[in-house]
Amino acid sequence: MKMASGWERLRAWFLLPAWIWMAVLFAAPFAIVVVYSLLTRGAYGGLGLPWTMENYQRLFDPLYLGIVLRSFAMAAATTAICLLLGFPLALFISRAGSRKNIYLQLVILPFWTSFLVRLYAWLFLLRDTGLINTVLQHLGLIHAPLPLLYNDGAVLLGLVYGYLPFMVLPVYATLERLDPALVEAAADLGAKPWPALLHVILPLSAPGIRAGSILVFIPALGAYLTPDLLGGGRTVLIGNLVQNQFTNARDWPFGAAISVGLMALVGLLVLLMLRSEREGLV
């Protein structure tokens, strides 16, 4: 339509910077990675022809498959724990009346401080010479430091700590929109608090739980920094594997293949999320 042409022109110019940036610094890099995943590792860590599917085949090696499965398990465990811990908190905030916003801010605030700092805080607490061990030894409860760090448990703790707000916020959003009349109707029909929770509130908060679960699972699956710092190289997840290929192992094609595989998984999960939730983020 001719009328819209003034707006159309403006819009075209306005979208240009974002288009260029996404094309050059998001799409193109990933395209290069896909290409690299099909090449062969060179003698000194470079890469070149021939074209090969070998890198993808290596993914099914028991060693690497194990890493993928462990990453899945870790992400699933993180999601489950975040749900367990986060749902009651979201419930609490949704019932806090006028102080809702403050409580919400208290959940968000630690998230927006430095991620690195928050991981380091746990290092400080869990190390052999960390605060927890020092206190326990001081109290005479233990004689040698507990190995709290550099294991799967520490990584799990770190992941939950990092991604809990991602579960709390969507669940809270759904709970907030819940019609209080529904809970009142349940009570009116004879449901005590716990059954009401189980049979009315929980099912109705399913969309929020779904959204929160995917918002936790996806970053947990691709986590790198948390397992790196808190796992100390003993807990190797997909993210660590990728980083290793591009630095120490110098096997870019293999690293690229892993990345493509990871992105495929992430893409699948996103499609799942978009299908269950009709409104997008942007």
Partner 1 sequence: MKRWLALYAAAVYLFLHLPLVILAVFSFNSSRFTVWQGFSLQWYRAIFQDQQLAESAWNSVIIAVVSTILSTAAGTLCAYGLWKRGSKLLSGSLYLSLVTPEIVMGISLLALFQWSFRWLHWRLGLYTVILAHVAFSIAYVVIVIAARLRTFSPALEEAALDLGATEWQAFRFVTLPALLPGIVAAALLALTVSFDDYVITSMVAGVDSETLPMVIYAMARRGASPVINAISALIVVVFGALVLISERVREA
Partner 2 sequence: MESILELRDLVKLFPNQRAVDGISLKIPRGGFYSLLGPSGCGKTTTLRLIAGFEQPTSGEVLLDGAVVNEQKPYQRNVSTVFQNYALFPHLTAAENIAFGLKRKNQPDIERKVRDALELVRLAGKEARYPAQLSGGERQRVALARSLVLQPDVLLLDEPLAALDPKLRKQMRLELKEMQRRVGITFLLVTHDQEEALSMSDQLAVMNAGAIEQVGTPQDVYLRPSTRFVAGFLGAVNWIEGIGLRPEVTRISRTLPSNGGRFRPATVTGSVFLGNCVHVLTRLESGEDAVAEIPRNNGTYQAGEAIHVCWNPSDEMIFP
Q: Which residues bind partner 2 (CB under 8 A)?
A: 1-3, 6
Which residue blocks in the chain are alpha helix, DSSP H?
A: 5-22, 28-37, 54-58, 62-94, 100-112, 115-126, 131-138, 152-177, 180-188, 193-196, 202-204, 206-221, 225-231, 238-246, 252-276
CB of 4 to partner 2, least distance (A): 8
Q: If contact means CB under 5 to 8 A according to the sort of partner, which of partner 2, partner 1, none does residue 2 touch?
A: partner 2
CB of 2 to partner 2, least distance (A): 6
Q: Which is nearer to partner 2, 6 or 97 (CB)?
A: 6
Q: Which is nearer to partner 2, 13 or 60 (CB)?
A: 13
Return the residues of window 48-67 that contact partner 1 according to CB under 8 A.
Answer: none
Cβ atoms of 224 and 239 closer than 8 Å: yes
How far apart CA 28 and CA 166 sit, in angstroms, is 29
Asked if 264 touches partner 1 (CB under 8 A), the answer is: no
CB of 5 to partner 2, least distance (A): 9
Q: Is 279 exposed, middle or buried (0-12, 13-18, 19+ CB in 10 A)?
A: exposed
Q: If contact means CB under 5 to 8 A according to the sort of partner, which of partner 2, partner 1, none does residue 221 touch?
A: partner 1
Asked if 85 touches partner 1 (CB under 8 A), the answer is: yes
CB of 154 to partner 1, least distance (A): 13
Q: Specify the long-range contacts of residues 98-105, CB closer than 8 Å, at least 24 apart.
A: 100/176, 104/169, 104/172
Q: Which is nearer to partner 2, 3 or 49 (CB)?
A: 3
Q: If contact means CB under 5 to 8 A according to the sort of partner, which of partner 1, partner 2, none does residue 276 touch?
A: none
CB of 88 to partner 1, least distance (A): 5
Residue listed under structure tokens 């591009």? 246
Residue listed under structure tokens 């005590």? 192
How far apart CA 100 and CA 107 sit, in angstroms, is 11
Cβ atoms of 99 and 233 closer than 8 Å: no
Return the residues of window 233-252 that contact partner 1 according to CB under 8 A.
Answer: 239, 242-243, 246, 252
Stretch that binds partner 1, among 100-108, 139-147, 172-180, 182-190 (CB under 8 A): 100-108
Return the residues of window 151-190 that contact partner 1 according to CB under 8 A.
Answer: 161, 164
Return the residues of window 102-161 that contact partner 1 according to CB under 8 A.
Answer: 103, 105-110, 112-125, 127, 129-131, 134, 138, 161
Nearest to 227 by CA among 160, 123, 150, 118: 150
Coil vs helix vs strand at 218:
helix
In order of 126, 188, 207, the CA distances from 229 in angstroms are 12, 52, 33
CB of 147 to partner 1, least distance (A): 16
Q: Which is nearer to partner 2, 4 or 63 (CB)?
A: 4
